[in-house]
Structure 1
């Protein structure tokens, strides 16, 4: 039985569970904020490095790394994935201090070419696309510190009480609004870009309804939304990455790309999405221990999605006779 069906059958039970989880998360936020960010990040990172390899996803990450770096030794792969867990543990702890980190310029080194800097001064509408490396939440820090109000797009949590906590922690990052994916968000996104605003979103997640692009020697499912929005709104994309230098210190980099605009819209989107992943791959190779290798990036579509695609294709074929 799916979560949605269980929720419809037992609404009071789920409402109580949501409230309790929200309370627990609020307490966790309060307690973690009592610990200095450097200590919290260090302790959480070392704990995840030690215990996370017992998680089933550790094996998946090792398999992905073996495909991506076939010449890497087994020991090197294990150390790289353990480094990934340590980075993720640090990100988890730093999330509780995200508003404070935004104000601490001494922790950040920002680099980018003249074109990228002009875009991120808020003088031109653009889409800032990051990926899950370093502490990706802080990719917008140099832009926010310039006074630009960024609009963010995210996947809302299933628990609305927990989602409120997360939104509160991120409110200083996205003063232009934090939009949960959906039809209403799509309208607001287009309005933001048309009015010259900056939109921020992730670009490396698997999307089986998207397109396949080359990624570490294999075809991987990719999200076409950033390229599609950029082409429709005629705005550039700025790819951003965060490199963890040492502890809670970061280098933030930006690289602008343009989306082709020919008579073949789908080909333009495909080309731009492939280009994004080409750059992501190059960046990941520089610091493989900082990317999230547990992504199901190369997994085939689920059975339900395949059935929907087959049904849609049959309907189109029937319509055209």
Structure 2
């Protein structure tokens, strides 16, 4: 598989995306469990049929573009809202980037590293180690590039991110990723309670920290990506549950910008400890 990744990394982005669309539809057709979860999540959010159909192929593109992003030549990256980063840097603030499973979330960290890494230090991103043993060294080498560091989803990883913020550097994480049991709270996400991490709010409340919302739009025809940046509408509450609800609402706002590129098949409503609120348990755990 490593050799296959290296071979695919030299292909044009347009070709990889075309192949990815096929992969996305194959996964949809061959996995009833995935298909039901995808449809349920899209319906829960009120995603219209055209956007949901487009998201099937976009999910496959997410997978097919990885060899190029991890191992291949640089891809074009455009910016929407870079002045928000410049403003944070001007006052010496560390930055917390909150990114949903929308578009190409690999490209947001890569884009920051490429544009700001030399002058402002690396961006540290939170990640879960790969479950497949063969993928771990490939993932570690691909993501551990100049201007980009990774932090595991452990106490040591959290300390690493806090240290980066104190140094005025940037960190990034996906707050719509279901955390391990005990590290989250139940908060609404598109009208249904979802187990939501509290780490994003904890990082956001660090002194001298700016919080920005970010997502990477995948452009058609292999023309690259646009990193979109948005400001929080209001400061996050001190209460963990209220803050989680605010973060989820902000993620919803980004997803509504481009529902055709959201990862609707992600098991957002699963319960890591089988302790979901009664209304969720009645609907199933979305695992």
Higher mean C-alpha deviation, range 142-151 or range 294-303: 294-303
Tell me by how many angstroms 1:80 deviates: 3.8
1:144 maps to: 113
Contact residue 129 and residue 201 of structure 1 kept, 8 A: yes
1:102-135 Cα shifts (integer Å, max 9, x gaps):
733xx33211174443236894211111111111
Alpha-carbon RMSD across the aligned residues, in angstroms, is 2.7
- SS across alignment from 2:209: coil
1:253 aligns with: 228
Distance 1:88 1:45 in 2: 8
Asked if residue 155 in structure 1 is aligned to residue 155 in structure 2, the reply is no
| Larger Rg computed on CA atoms | 1
4+ aligned runs moved over 3 Å, structure 1: 79-82, 99-104, 113-117, 120-123, 258-261, 269-272, 299-303
1:93 has 2:64 as partner: yes
- Which residue in the other structure is 2:281 paired with? none
User: Which residue number corresponds to residue 124 of structure 1?
Assistant: 93
Once structures 1 and 2 are overlaid, which stretch shifts more, 224-233 or 124-133?
Answer: 224-233
Question: 1:160 Cα shift?
Answer: 4.1
Choose which of 22, 29, 33 in structure 2 pairs with 1:53.
29
Q: Hey, what does 2:210 align to over in structure 1? A: 236
1:123-152 CA distance string (max 9 Å, x none): 421111111111111012442232322111
1:38 counterpart = 2:4: no
Gaps in structure 1 of 5+ consecutive residues: 1-24, 307-321
- Asked whether the equivalents of residues 240 and 253 of structure 1 are also in contact (C-alpha less than 8 Å), the reply is yes
Distance in 2 between residues matched to 1:102 and 1:214, nearest whole Å: 40
2:151 is aligned to 179
Would you say how many aligned residue pairs link Structure 1 and Structure 2? 267
- Native 8 Å contact 2:2 2:134 kept in 1: no
1:152 touches 1:200 (CA, 8 Å); kept in 2?
yes
Q: Specify the alignment match of 2:283 in structure 1.
A: none
**Corresponding residue number in structure 2 for 1:64:** 41
Quote the Cα distance in structure 2 between the aligned partners of 1:212 and 1:218.
Answer: 9
| TM-score of the pair, normalised by structure 1 | 0.73
Residues 1-321 of structure 1: matches in 2 within 5 Å?
Answer: 25-55=1-31, 56-69=33-46, 72=48, 76=49, 79-99=50-70, 103-104=74-75, 107-112=76-81, 114-119=83-88, 123-148=92-117, 149-172=122-145, 175-207=147-179, 209=182, 210-248=184-222, 249-257=224-232, 259-260=235-236, 265=238, 267=239, 269-303=240-274
- Structure 2 stretches lacking a partner, 5+ long: 277-287
**Cα separation, partners in 2 of 1:48 and 1:297, compared to 1, 3 Å:** closer
Q: CA deviation at 1:234?
A: 4.7
Alpha-carbon distance in 2 for matches of 1:41, 1:184:
36
Q: In the TM superposition, what is the alpha-carbon distance from 1:32 to its structure 2 partner? A: 0.9
Distance 2:73 2:201 in 1: 28
Q: Which of the two has greater helix per residue?
A: 1
Q: TM-score, normalised by structure 2?
A: 0.81
- Ranked by relative contact order (alpha carbons within 8 Å, sequence separation 6 or more), the top structure is 2
Confirm or deny: 8 A CA contact 1:58 1:81 kept in the other structure.
no
